[in-house]
Amino acid sequence: MAKQEKSLHMTILMTPDMANFSGNVHGGAILKLLDQVAFACAARYCKSYVVTLSLDQVTFNQAIKVGELVSFRAHVNYVGNSSLEIGVKVFAENLETQNNRHTNSCYFTMVAMGKDGKPIKAPKIEINNEFEQKLYEAAMMRKQARIELNKKNKELTAEIPDYNTDLIKSTEN
């Protein structure tokens, strides 16, 4: 059996077109790159098209400056039936000082898709070492926490009336 490609590294120079009004890299630019890295990691692993189902909390712990080299380290942590969790760590390197710092981490849930646009079975993950076992176990805990959080959110919002009725077109006519 071929070795599974569970990791992907991508490094990009932060350019002026990515800047926000304070001169740092705009969070939205980082979010777009995070999604692209998670997509590439999951698609390469599944050898199929994938879509983003969700993104767990992203906290920007440190600003990223224009001119820094940013490395995205992605890894397949968990695979379910058609979904998989991709963990992404972000590191920013000052090219002058060579100071390298971890700026943020997050977890994407991606879904493997067939050519017909429907979810397909993702390849079963092979756990090869203690590190991958720990990643898998932590991903299982996050999956359960997401399920519980989604349930709580539905309960919390169940009694709140929809204030966007002007945007919802009625199918009754």
> Tell me, what CATH number does 41's domain have?
3.10.129.10
| Buried-state track 14-49, b at ≥16 Cβ within 10 A, e below 16 | beeebeeeeebbbeebbeebbbebbbbbbbbbbebe
Overall number of domains in the chain: 1
Q: Residue 48 domain-assigned?
A: yes
Tokens encoding 39: 């997509």
Instruction: Report whether pLDDT(63) > 60.
Output: yes
Q: Residue 66 domain-assigned?
A: yes
Tokens encoding 38: 């998670």
Tokens encoding 67: 């001119």
Q: Residue 131 domain-assigned?
A: yes
88-104 tens-digit pLDDT: 999 999 999 999 999 99
Q: Residue 169 domain-assigned?
A: no
Please give the model's pTM, rounded to 2 decimal places: 0.89
pLDDT value at position 166? 81
What length is written for the chain? Answer: 173
pLDDT confidence tier of residue 170, bands split at 50, 70 and 90 = low
Q: Residue 171 domain-assigned?
A: no
102-161 tens-digit pLDDT: 999 999 999 999 999 999 999 999 999 999 999 999 999 999 999 999 999 999 888 888
Tokens encoding 119: 């979810």
Q: Which domain holds residue 124?
A: 7-159
Report the DSSP beta bridge partners of residue 8: 74
Four-point Cα dihedral 146, 148, 153, 154, nearest 10 = 120
pLDDT confidence tier of residue 173, bands split at 50, 70 and 90 = very low
Instruction: Report whether pLDDT(171) > 60.
Output: no
Q: Residue 108 domain-assigned?
A: yes
Tokens encoding 47: 């050898």
